[in-house]
Structure 1
Amino acid sequence: MKNLSALLELRFNPELSTNADGKHVRDGLSTVLRTGDYLWVSCDERTTLERLKKTGEHTFAEHVSFDLTQYLDLPDGNNSEIDIEGLGMAEGYLWLVGSHSLKRKKPRKEDPVAKQIKRLAKVTSDPNRYLIARIPLVHHPETGEYSLCRECPDPQDPSKTLRAAQLLGSDKSNQLMDAIAHDLHLAHFLPIPGKDNGFDIEGLALHEDRIFLGLRGPVLRGWAMVLEIRLQETEDGTALQLAPLTQDGLLYKKHFLHMNGMGVRELRINGNDLYLLAGPTMDLDGVISVFRWRNAMTQTQGEEQLVHRKDLERLFDVPYGSGVTSGQDKAEGLGVYDDQHIIIVYDSPSAIRKPEDDVVVADVYRVG
């Protein structure tokens, strides 16, 4: 592809890379964030964040895994996945968001047909998925290393303390879900599993004090949505709460984008522009593309926006699995690699993306 600039090898530590169900972290990458010489990635079936260090021109290795239960008060501890679908960095914090989605059980081919059909009727909720949180991200100038801490002095102002915190909520909801419970466009999709075009957050981006959340679903007659919120500390500083976006007390805004029927898989802010990785909202092979919404940060300062196809730049399409690789190479994570490039990581990578044990290949694309 003309935009493909480089292939990156991500090398994981075999002792840290397999979960209790035997799934390797490289097989479920859903997000990617670059901080200096480090890449942060997450697997959607874990409660950990993975950090890799740049060790060569096209290689990231020296894998370290961070157990998020050491920094956040997860409702279900390590017992269920967060389904991390977005990472961001702002003002000394690493931010993350869970999918907030329900999931439908998969039929198991080895089961009797009646049991398979019954499983398709079962919808479940993971308590840890209702998470929007920040964790202090400490930069060590002497070594260039970035690491996490639960609480530490602010390097920019030692009189202040940086503390890990998360949006107020429970094992079944949080303030955001409560705020949209009766929303004209979203309410009917909250009880529907994410992969059935139900409510599903995939993507997080930060600009000053505003947080943008991409929705994989629902897609309404071809229109995808990006939510905009603002969070502030509670009075005691131990948690986060929704803060008004406008003088009349609006707690969230919805921006509608027509991306040819695709939902948001990830989003990133670069300068004043918003980059979006878009793909099918449902569980199927389909076109995955990168779009650019120019001047989005300026346009969204006021009212909710509705962005037609002609006002979005479709930069390029990303290869996806089909035929013998059906269900594989699903682009899920998009990050800013540098001013001229983005990086994309894949869920369910095909064999060609796994040249060695514990290694997976990510793509760098030119966008500048």
Structure 2
Amino acid sequence: MKPIQVKLKFNAATKDHGDRKPIRDGLSSIVKVGEYLWLACDEGISLERLKKTDDGYHEHTLFKLSDYITLSEEEISEIDIEGIDFENHYLWITGSHGLKRKKPSEDDSVKKQIKHIAKVEAEPNRYLLARIPLVKDDKTGELVLCKSCPHPEDPDKKLTAARLKGDANSNELMDALKKDKHLKNFLKIPGKDNGFDIEGLALDGSRIFLGLRGPVLRGWAIILEIETKEVDKQTIELKSIGPKDKKYKKHFLYLAGMGIREITPAGKDLLVLAGPTMELDGTIAVYRWKNALAATKEVKKSLVYEEQVERVFDIPHGTGKDAGKDKAEGITLISEHELLVVFDSPAEKRKSGKTDVVADIYLLAGKNKKPSEK
């Protein structure tokens, strides 16, 4: 399936982004809200907003997350944002919640490089699960983030930014998983080593689905389902929704050994972007878990076999001189039958200037005319 391409035009990264790699080189998650795209770069501490124009998505605006929620180490620790979605006037975001193994540098001695490979780090901001009000500005008409604001449909109520209860080393979800028979042994393994690694967030009313890139257990990928409630105006906590009053449900999907790289709602279904769980080039595919949102309401856990998830299409990844490039990381529906895909480590042919990059639009079944984006 050949995609239609669309240009995303960013400004240069600033210290408010995290002063790390260019935004276009680390796109990890995306959601369309109205005429805007909201995107995250996995090495940043900000969210990026682009507006639909005649020739793509431009007018980049950066929103520094520490203006809305409390971060553990604002200036030095990336959040590793891997999932964003919008519902009921809130934009929800999640960090990877995963450990990080240090990369060796060719400039160092062999002894030092080997020592680096043994070092595993926990970055506090990665344990972030939060919601931020997203509403229309009365003066400009733009969709903007707010720390606190009146509810657009009920002025007597307030919308407030809040994050899941926790501390610099963990949060309530990670604490709950420490006794889980499937996941507890993977919490101390770095994400790129098939350890615990959240890479996808999708909303259905009060329910939050978290897709796991790892671990993959004998070919089975995992989606966690949670619900939250307010503790105070800045803190949320998990409800008991699972078996034996656990604070989560588990859904196992057979995706031919691939982990989950992103999830997004599509009517009653969930679209799942699947790919390698470890640091390698490999098959990347979009699956449709049919009737997922209804089916999961009726059960405490589920096992979804290969024949119950439709493999919709594969997405090419970098090979040859582009090995390690063009890794599909984020998906969002821009219309009922048009799926926009953004890439981590885009190949040079996707880039233009110092900041711009091309994303792909795939046409889903059920529509015969070409995508509306040009």
Give the TM-score taking structure 1 as reference length: 0.96
Question: Which SS does the other structure have where 1:60 is aligned?
Answer: strand
CA contact (8 A) 1:52 1:60 kept: yes
Query: Partner letter of residue 249 of structure 1?
Result: D
- Find 2:111's aligned residue among 108, 111, 114: 114
Question: Which SS does the other structure have where 1:232 is aligned?
Answer: strand
Indicate how the Cα distance of structure 1 residues 22 and 95 shifts in structure 2: closer, same or farther if over 3 A, else same: closer
Determine the C-alpha separation between the residues in 1 that align with 2:162 and 2:336.
30
Give me the CA root mean square deviation: 1.6
- Find 1:180's aligned residue among 173, 177, 182: 177
Partner of 1:321: 318
Equivalent positions of 1:209-224 (< 5 A) are: 209-224=206-221
CA contact (8 A) 1:37 1:144 kept: no
- Find 1:285's aligned residue among 281, 284, 307: 281
- Find 1:137's aligned residue among 111, 129, 134: 134
Q: Deviations over 1:277-318 (max 9, x none)?
A: 000000000010000000001111123111111111000000
Determine the C-alpha separation between the residues in 2 that align with 1:87 and 1:217.
18
Give the TM-score taking structure 2 as reference length: 0.94
Equivalent positions of 1:1-368 (< 5 A) are: 1-2=1-2, 4=3, 6-14=4-12, 16=14, 23-56=21-54, 58-140=55-137, 144-234=141-231, 236-245=232-241, 249-301=245-297, 302-368=299-365
Q: Deviations over 1:309-347 (max 9, x none)?
A: 111100000010111111110111111211111111000
CA shift for structure 1 position 248: 5.2
Query: Partner letter of residue 314 of structure 1?
Result: R
CA contact (8 A) 1:18 1:25 kept: no
CA shift for structure 1 position 247: 8.7
Q: Tell me how many residue pairs correspond in the alignment.
A: 364
CA shift for structure 1 position 245: 1.5
Q: Deviations over 1:194-242 (max 9, x none)?
A: 00000000000000111000000000000000000001101x3321000
Determine the C-alpha separation between the residues in 1 that align with 2:150 and 2:75.
28
CA shift for structure 1 position 18: 9.3
CA contact (8 A) 1:69 1:78 kept: no
Determine the C-alpha separation between the residues in 2 that align with 1:230 and 1:18.
31
Query: Partner letter of residue 261 of structure 2?
Result: R
CA contact (8 A) 1:30 1:84 kept: yes
Determine the C-alpha separation between the residues in 1 that align with 2:341 and 2:93.
17
Question: Which SS does the other structure have where 2:301 is aligned?
Answer: coil
Question: Which SS does the other structure have where 2:361 is aligned?
Answer: strand
Deviates most, 134-143 or 173-182: 134-143
CA contact (8 A) 2:18 2:44 kept: no
Indicate how the Cα distance of structure 1 residues 169 and 326 shifts in structure 2: closer, same or farther if over 3 A, else same: same
Query: Partner letter of residue 267 of structure 1?
Result: I
Question: Which SS does the other structure have where 1:178 is aligned?
Answer: helix
Query: Partner letter of residue 83 of structure 1?
Result: D
Q: Deviations over 1:59-98 (max 9, x none)?
A: 1111110000000001112221000000011111000000
CA contact (8 A) 1:31 1:333 kept: yes
